[in-house]
Structure 1
Amino acid sequence: MWAWYLLLVPIFGVIYRAWSKRRRRMQLLVSKLSAQDWATVIDWVPLVAKLPPELQGRLQGKMNLFLSQVRIYGKNGVVVDREVELSLSAQACLLIVNSDVWYNTLHTVLLYPGAFHSKQQRQDGYLVTETKEVRLGESWRHGPVVLSWPHAEQGGVNDEDGHNLILHEFAHQLDALSGDTNGVPILAKGQSHQDWEAAIMRGYEAHVANVGRNRKTVLDSYAATNYVEFLAVSIEVFFEKPEKFHEEYPEVYKQISILLNLDPLAWG
């Protein structure tokens, strides 16, 4: 009898912890920010004011869940205050505000006071070389996300220039949830892989051709780097320049809209 009891206690402990975690998650997802916090979000990330009321409420819950999971650290003098937490989490959660996708493996974000050096390794056969690159942001598959905070902050404040560092790096996080950062994220239920790949490939090839001809488009030339960067830059302009993006890349706009279950064109 006592042997069974001793065996069951740890099992019930595991079940209870799992239940408590799920319950806490559900509570956070339906929780709201204070009026003061929400006013701060609107000031720092005016894009969210365009969201329909239902999505504004959903965003607040996801922000609370995000901040309960992810630790934000300032490096080299960057101070992480409430405004920084709200700005960053609002932009990060905007991508997933209307989907069931979550940044399951992300627990750390690092903020630098400007561009930073990143060590990169490249392998050619048995030869591995290490170089240092200057970057404004980077996203690792299981975290962390690393950002130049001044550039990230400006991306949130200016919601019409088509450049948003946080949206860009968290698009990479979204992409990586499929198991590899390759421009093919976990698609929405019922979304066709064939349609996704066809739209991204055609859009990317058209953009590369435009860049080669020095033809200006809504997308930054950096989107011509590869499919991964094409997707990340496309998500930036999907939110910030939806009309122009839809006009120039309608197939890509449609697929990203299905993926995120969002349509900024309808926000007015």
Structure 2
Amino acid sequence: MLRRWQQAWRDWRRRRALEARAIPDALWLETLRGWPFLRHRPLEDLLKLREMTSLLLDRKEFSTAGGLVLDDAMAVAVAAQACVPVLHLPGELDWYDGFVGIVLHPSEVVVPRQWHDEDGVVHSGDEVLAGEAIEGGPLMLSWQDVRLGGREGHDDGTDADLAYNVVIHEFVHVIDMRDGAVDGMPALPTRAQRERWQAVMGEAFARHAAEVDADRPTWLDPYAAQGLEEFFPVAAEAFFVAPHGLALEFPEVYALMRDFFHQDPRLHAR
């Protein structure tokens, strides 16, 4: 009886959210035109993506800083892209339950940092951020960089340029954080899955980092060589927005992500 009541309450809440946050047809089509990778998927997935976008808008609180004026188009664009990684994950939007706030800045943000080197000496300096996900939130995004991940940012870009998407990057960080460790590996249910993930990603990261250290040109963003905790979200960007390139450069990583995300973007990508 209690389970039926809880399910009925969840169903009612879902219907209410879909009605309250319904996305007008014109706005949805504008979003798909602005970020073409969103529309390169089966109709069933597009319908589910639209529903999940409404549900995410209902769960999160959007705000702006730096004089940026928020409108519905901006919120829908961010929410739709954020839903892509969890579109077929068990639990769907529950992966993002650890935070509520999403803050959009006009452009990159400069923040002061302190860090310790190997000898324990404290250093300080500024870091330029296009986005940042921290445990408990809020999640920060540069609107300029969000737009760079869309049609406007790809007019004259190379195939490697197409792999840039700050929204997917930061929300994959959130997926990584769900088990309490920011280590470049999401919460996986079995030991075999965890061992496979560590082996595949470890080998791919080592190869990429060696190429970056040798100053050789790389297809994947050199930023991925910062550590496994960055290799995962950078590779995930490529998986969703430039899948053919990732499959060519890192076929084992592509297969790993295909199995984890339960998606195969190559089947529909242009």
**TM-score class, shorter:** 0.7 to 0.9
Amino acid of the structure 2 residue aligned with 1:20: W
- Are 2:140 and 1:150 aligned? no
Amino acid of the structure 2 residue aligned with 1:182: D
1:168 Cα deviation from its structure 2 partner: 0.9
Question: 97, 112, 115: which is aligned to 2:105?
Answer: 112
Q: Which has the larger radius of gyration?
A: 1
- Aligned residue for 2:222? 221
TM-score by length of 1: 0.84
Is the 1:50–1:267 Cα contact (8 Å) retained in structure 2? yes
- Aligned residue for 1:171? 172
Amino acid of the structure 2 residue aligned with 1:42: L
Is the 1:203–1:249 Cα contact (8 Å) retained in structure 2? yes
Identity within the alignment, %:
27
Note the aligned Cα RMSD (angstroms): 2.9
1:171 Cα deviation from its structure 2 partner: 1.1
Q: Which runs of 5+ in 1 are unaligned?
A: 1-11
Is the 1:188–1:260 Cα contact (8 Å) retained in structure 2? no
1:63 Cα deviation from its structure 2 partner: 0.6
Question: 89, 94, 97: which is aligned to 2:87?
Answer: 97
What CA distance in whole angstroms lies between the structure 2 residues aligned with 1:191 and 1:141?
A: 27
- Residues 192, 75 of structure 1: CA spacing in aligned structure 2 closer, same or farther, 3 A cutoff? same
SS across alignment from 2:149? helix
Task: Encode CA deviations 1:81-121: one digit per residue, 9 max, x unaligned.
Answer: 01101110011111111112431122101111112132445
- Aligned residue for 1:250? 251
- Are 2:62 and 1:72 aligned? yes
Is the 2:108–2:144 Cα contact (8 Å) retained in structure 1? no
Q: Which stretch shifts more, 96-105 or 175-184? A: 96-105
SS across alignment from 2:163? coil
What CA distance in whole angstroms lies between the structure 1 residues aligned with 2:22 and 2:107?
A: 32
SS across alignment from 2:128? strand
Q: Which stretch shifts more, 160-169 or 121-130? A: 121-130
What CA distance in whole angstroms lies between the structure 1 residues aligned with 2:176 and 2:65?
A: 26
- Aligned residue for 1:7? none
Aligned length, in residue pairs? 255
1:19 Cα deviation from its structure 2 partner: 5.8
Task: Encode CA deviations 1:195-218: one digit per residue, 9 max, x unaligned.
Answer: 111000000001011112333232
- Aligned residue for 2:23? 33
Is the 1:138–1:145 Cα contact (8 Å) retained in structure 2? yes
TM-score by length of 2: 0.84
* 1:47-58 equivalence runs, <5 A: 47-58=37-48
SS across alignment from 1:207? helix
- Residues 210, 149 of structure 1: CA spacing in aligned structure 2 closer, same or farther, 3 A cutoff? same
